[in-house]
Structure 1
């Protein structure tokens, strides 16, 4: 117990003596955006030679441990920078001793699929999501229900084009799902694009003739014609 307390005391003294400022070379090489996961970014930036992170809408100030390692209390993790390989690694710890977590740096102008989608770049967003699916078909980023829920959130905010693009991506990722086409039909219906709504409700019923939502909406729309 005494040994552990002594170690913690020495560690805290060492950290307090370490300058929080960073070298120009490190700043130049470390600055940038890194993949935190397949569709999420953690941004590294510097202010007055101190390292900061922008993550999940918050600005974080890690504690510098040494010239390449920083402790992030909000994550309870140490980030180890490997600037020669443009990567950040999580320092080994008991909770994930059998796993290695590496965050690769994004290339200049590179974006995540959701960022492309936010910019209404459907083709690049689709390409990104398909790449994620090919690499890991069980990735939560491309979970059908999650994408569907996000699409309806856009619909509730009257963001019709965003909803349509997201639902379209879901139909490509899950072409055998009746629900994805039903949702796309709902988005076109909200946008008052009756022709496209009918097409997608029909596709939903081709996959699952018992889709009550598509059947009900299709009957209403065809009666109006």
Structure 2
């Protein structure tokens, strides 16, 4: 009887510790960023044979491993597997559905191709703007590039007194929405708080030209002209 208990205990311990071992080749093939949507990526990397995921600002998510290719990501509520598409030879992340069919949902991207938000959060604002302009040219109604999104992000920077970053973000908004009075008003506000009264005046003037009923711009321009 004691022998049976010992055998059962051994089986349980071995099965619990039997974690998948990813070969060096497999790690190299699957490490990288996979396109989740036009402005977000799923970043896959390994640390001491541990599979880790970065997704929408959450770092080092450790998924539940189901086998050497399949895993569950609680934060996404998705069961996924690595698959290689025979038609292009590229690796994809495939969402695993009930029928276990193979789909090619999120393609691994070349290192040279990144989504605009990747550059935005690394302060590479010119590259970010280029990417957002490309997205806008394909679909101007895309929620990912809404004016209010950049305005909110810029004011978050402004509230922490990161003036240069706020100005750069508001400039992206101006480039995306040059006919909006609000984007010039926000940019003027950032310049004003940073101490650049001339650029504040210039951008309040642009805002007022697009929307004459802007009391803040009116007050500032009047005060500036009376100095």
Looking at structure 2, the residues matched to 82 and 134 of structure 1 have their Cα atoms a distance apart, in angstroms, of 32
Look up the SS of the partner of 1:167 in the other structure.
Answer: helix
CA shift, 1:159, in A, is 0.8
Which residue of structure 2 lines up, in the alignment, with residue 203 of structure 1?
206
Looking at structure 2, the residues matched to 137 and 20 of structure 1 have their Cα atoms a distance apart, in angstroms, of 45
The answer (yes or no) to whether the contact 1:21–1:48 under 8 Å persists in 2 is: no
User: Where in structure 2 are the equivalents of 1:80-159 lying within 5 Å?
Assistant: 80-83=81-84, 84-92=89-97, 102-159=105-162
Looking at structure 1, the residues matched to 126 and 98 of structure 2 have their Cα atoms a distance apart, in angstroms, of 40
How high is the TM-score relative to the length of structure 2? 0.79
Looking at structure 2, the residues matched to 79 and 212 of structure 1 have their Cα atoms a distance apart, in angstroms, of 53
Looking at structure 1, the residues matched to 195 and 177 of structure 2 have their Cα atoms a distance apart, in angstroms, of 25
Which residue of structure 2 lines up, in the alignment, with residue 71 of structure 1?
72
How high is the TM-score relative to the length of structure 1? 0.80
Looking at structure 1, the residues matched to 122 and 38 of structure 2 have their Cα atoms a distance apart, in angstroms, of 18
The answer (yes or no) to whether the contact 2:21–2:68 under 8 Å persists in 1 is: no
- Report the more deviating stretch, 184-193 or 108-117: 108-117
Equivalent of 2:192 in 170, 184, 189 = 189
Looking at structure 1, the residues matched to 128 and 75 of structure 2 have their Cα atoms a distance apart, in angstroms, of 30
Look up the SS of the partner of 2:20 in the other structure.
Answer: coil
> Where does structure 2 lack aligned partners over 5 or more consecutive residues?
1-14
Q: How many equivalent residue pairs?
A: 205
Look up the SS of the partner of 1:120 in the other structure.
Answer: coil
Looking at structure 2, the residues matched to 167 and 209 of structure 1 have their Cα atoms a distance apart, in angstroms, of 21
Look up the SS of the partner of 1:53 in the other structure.
Answer: strand
Look up the SS of the partner of 2:226 in the other structure.
Answer: helix
Looking at structure 2, the residues matched to 101 and 190 of structure 1 have their Cα atoms a distance apart, in angstroms, of 48
Looking at structure 2, the residues matched to 147 and 128 of structure 1 have their Cα atoms a distance apart, in angstroms, of 14
The answer (yes or no) to whether the contact 1:20–1:50 under 8 Å persists in 2 is: no
The answer (yes or no) to whether the contact 2:158–2:166 under 8 Å persists in 1 is: yes
Which residue of structure 1 lines up, in the alignment, with residue 5 of structure 2?
none
The 1:218–1:101 alpha-carbon spacing in structure 2 relative to 1, beyond 3 Å, is: farther
The 1:215–1:103 alpha-carbon spacing in structure 2 relative to 1, beyond 3 Å, is: farther
CA shift, 1:101, in A, is 7.9
CA shift, 1:23, in A, is 2.6
Looking at structure 2, the residues matched to 116 and 221 of structure 1 have their Cα atoms a distance apart, in angstroms, of 36
Which residue of structure 2 lines up, in the alignment, with residue 58 of structure 1?
59
Look up the SS of the partner of 1:107 in the other structure.
Answer: coil
CA shift, 1:209, in A, is 1.0
CA shift, 1:46, in A, is 1.6
When Rg is computed on C-alpha atoms for both structures, the one with the higher figure is 2
The answer (yes or no) to whether the contact 1:117–1:165 under 8 Å persists in 2 is: no
